[in-house]
Amino acid sequence: MRLFSARYATNDPFVYRLGLQVFILARRVRLPYGSPSFTSLRPKRGLFGFRAAAQPLQVLVTALQKAESLRARKSGRPIAALTAYDFPTARLLDECGVDVLLVGDSLGMVVLGFPDTTHVTLQHMLHHVAAVARAKPKALVVGDLPIHTYETPAQALDTARQLVSAGAEAVKLEGGIRQAEKVRAITAAGIPVMGHLGMLPQCVLEEGGYHKKGRTPEQSDAIREGAQALIDSGVFAIVFESIVPATARLLSESLSVPIIGIGCGDHTCDGEVAVVTDVLGSYPWFVPPFARPEADLAGVTRDAVACYISRVSNRG
């Protein structure tokens, strides 16, 4: 079998040199011949030999590069994040230019019908992470570590690796100081980690409901200490949930990684994350008080289905 060379396909010196340069470039970046990345670099064979120009070089952005790019936006362009739980939603959101697709354990409520996130299992998360990842989004795909799957550093790392194998590019976990060693274990393995402080949905049963955080100086100090522990352990960003706006703004301004708020008021953090069904208005049975629906897909769905039923039923 002959080695790849434009010499065997054309006598045009320009095309030969171009093919040779592409081959050398592929060798330098150590791409195996025949791999998808190498194939995209080769000049295409036309009817009478190779075309005069190769396809543009596709830049492959790694998960670490995506995470570092978001980290570098601290106090810069705000980060827009949304949850996604399936392939079509992920494609649509990515086409709109969202920065982060969070496969959140909120799927337990808005997709699976559970009363809270404590019923979500790792198998649930793997299933939905894989669906979102199949969209091959430019946005960073972050998967939540579900409850009881990161109780030790070793277990946290194993769970993170399973989510990455399913298609996640980063993972998110809840809690501060007590999670520092777990974050270190995951980041040491090259997996980006996003933190989560304030109201912690996985603790809803322990706390007896959802309560606003950061109301007192003691609560504010605890959040700050937890955030710093996460930062020292290597997180690239932290979600603040349901923290009073004044505290969220003060902490966001003083911390060195992007703070992404939900239920923390407008423009108090370095970005926002929202549950996609809240934005689309597709889950009308419960809308959080801080949510701001931008559409009424529930109403549109009902109207469309009513029209469908009417058309099918009307045989006259």
Look at residue 61 in the predicted model and tell me its pLDDT: 87
CB-based contacts of 87, cutoff 8 Å, min separation 6: 131, 132, 134, 135
Predicted confidence (pLDDT) per residue in 272-294, tens digit: 999 999 999 999 999 999 999 99
Average of per-residue pLDDT across 162-170: 98
Predicted confidence (pLDDT) per residue in 101-114, tens digit: 999 999 999 999 99
Single-letter residue type at 88: P
State the CB neighbour count (10 A cutoff) for residue 314. 7
Contact 245, 261 (CB under 8 A): no
225 a catalytic residue = no
Is residue 167 domain-shared with residue 189, that is, in the same domain?
yes
Look at residue 59 in the predicted model and tell me its pLDDT: 58
Task: Name the catalytic one among 241, 253, 272, 294.
Answer: 241
* Residue 308 clears pLDDT 50, i.e. is over it: yes
Is residue 135 domain-shared with residue 243, that is, in the same domain?
yes
Could you tell me the residue range of the domain that residue 184 belongs to?
63-274
* Residue 220 clears pLDDT 80, i.e. is over it: yes
Look at residue 22 in the predicted model and tell me its pLDDT: 44
pTM: 0.81
Predicted confidence (pLDDT) per residue in 46-76, tens digit: 444 444 444 444 457 899 999 999 999 999 9
Q: Let me know if residue 143 belongs to a domain.
A: yes
Q: Let me know if residue 228 belongs to a domain.
A: yes
Is residue 123 domain-shared with residue 33, that is, in the same domain?
no
Is residue 91 domain-shared with residue 28, that is, in the same domain?
no
Cα angle 56, 61, 64 (rounded to 5 degrees) comes to 165
Predicted confidence (pLDDT) per residue in 10-44, tens digit: 445 444 454 545 444 444 444 333 333 333 334 44
Look at residue 53 in the predicted model and tell me its pLDDT: 44
Angstrom distance (rounded) from CA 305 to CA 303: 6
* Residue 131 clears pLDDT 60, i.e. is over it: yes
CB-based contacts of 126, cutoff 8 Å, min separation 6: 162, 163, 166
CATH number at residue 106: 3.20.20.60
Reduced to 3 states (helix: H, G, I; strand: E, B; else coil), residue 233 is helix
* Residue 254 clears pLDDT 50, i.e. is over it: yes
**Gyration radius (Cα) of the chain, Å:** 24
**Counted domains in the chain:** 2
Is residue 145 domain-shared with residue 263, that is, in the same domain?
yes
Phi, psi of 276 (to 5 degrees): -60, -35
Alpha-helix residue ranges (DSSP H) falling in the chain: 13-28, 36-41, 63-71, 87-96, 107-110, 122-133, 153-166, 180-188, 204-207, 217-233, 245-254, 276-280, 297-313
Angstrom distance (rounded) from CA 299 to CA 305: 10
Strand 237-241 relative to strand 259-262, pairing: parallel
CB-based contacts of 51, cutoff 8 Å, min separation 6: 15, 43, 44, 45
